[in-house]
Amino acid sequence: MYPEIPIKFPKKPVTPMYLTNTTKNTIQKRTERIEVHSRPKGVNPQDHSRTNLNQRLTRIYQKTGSFGKVQEELIRQNWETNFRPHWFITLLWNDLPTRFDTSEGHAKTFRNVFLTKLLRCNTPTRIPDPPARPQLVFFHERKPVIRHGRQILAFHTHLHMGALPDPLNHLWYLDHLIHQKVSPRVQKLLKTTSEGNRGVVIKPWVWDNHAFYNLKDYYSHKYHQDPDLVLDYENSDLVF
């Protein structure tokens, strides 16, 4: 067993996140239900920065007609002005979900359990907003798998996560936390640890490898799913 390490997070108020009108309308359709959990929140930039971003996104869409290109710019904006992730974590689900909202629900469970264990709070409603905790951004990606003798497109999840506070920001601690404390409480998380079939894979985040890694799924499956269903707005800490 690893010793419990005392940690201190900065206490700084965070205002609710801002999203473009297109994104807001998309999210509202999937968030009409009321659930008791800590909602991710971002920080509103200054009005002129927000206006400049809106204008830039409008020009990109008018020029390309591609929501994927708009998403790419939103993600770039998030990595460059909000936070640069430190960890890239792959999560596999044992029920091989074929619906985005199912994978989104699994991610919410993982998020709440992970943060309550990391912060040692007894309920998700007490999870603070960033920067009093690491920021999390979830993507859900499809991959062909065989189930019951036939091929399906099942979702798995990629988590882009900010650095943990010193002295916890180490691979050994993150691996211990997820496998020993989080995994037993997330029923749908795949528990296997065998090479080539790990339920959880943790890697250091690298811009060239991971910054836009998940957008390939948008272009691969944009005719199979709604065009926004790559980035998980519901569970992510986003700043636009």
Average pLDDT rounded to a whole number, residues 89-104: 96
Mean pLDDT score of the chain: 80
Give residue 32's pLDDT band: very low, low, confident or very high (50, 70, 90).
very low
Give residue 47's pLDDT band: very low, low, confident or very high (50, 70, 90).
low
Give residue 236's pLDDT band: very low, low, confident or very high (50, 70, 90).
very high
Nearest one of 120, 128, 107 to 39, comparing CA atoms: 128
Poorest-pLDDT segment among 24-33, 70-79, 175-184: 24-33
Residues linked to residue 202 through DSSP beta bridges, in sequence order: 89
What is the rounded distance in angstroms from the CA atom of residue 205 to the CA atom of residue 214? 13
- Helix or strand run (H / E) with residue 71: helix 67-77
Between the alpha carbon of residue 110 and those of residues 21, 56, 207, the distances in Å are 28, 34, 24
- What one-character DSSP code corresponds to residue 44? -
Q: Please give the residue that has the higher pLDDT: either 224 or 49.
A: 49
pLDDT at 40: 58
Between the alpha carbon of residue 91 and those of residues 111, 209, 240, the distances in Å are 11, 17, 26
Per DSSP, the three-state class of 110 is: helix
pLDDT at 57: 85
Q: What is the value of pTM for the model shown?
A: 0.76
Average pLDDT rounded to a whole number, residues 2-14: 47
Instruction: Report the share of the chain in percent with pLDDT over 70.
Output: 73
pLDDT tens digits along 153-180: 999 999 999 999 889 999 999 999 999 9
What is the rounded distance in angstroms from the CA atom of residue 194 to the CA atom of residue 1? 22
- Helix or strand run (H / E) with residue 26: helix 21-30
pLDDT at 128: 95
Average pLDDT rounded to a whole number, residues 119-129: 94
Query: In order of start, what are the domains of the chain with their CATH numbers?
Result: 84-232 (3.30.70)
Counting runs of H as helices and runs of E as strands, what totals does the chain give? 7, 5
Give residue 207's pLDDT band: very low, low, confident or very high (50, 70, 90).
very high
Query: In this structure, what token pair is assigned to residue 217?
Result: 């799924």
pLDDT at 202: 97
What is the rounded distance in angstroms from the CA atom of residue 210 to the CA atom of residue 215? 10
pLDDT of residue 43 exceeding 80, the answer is no
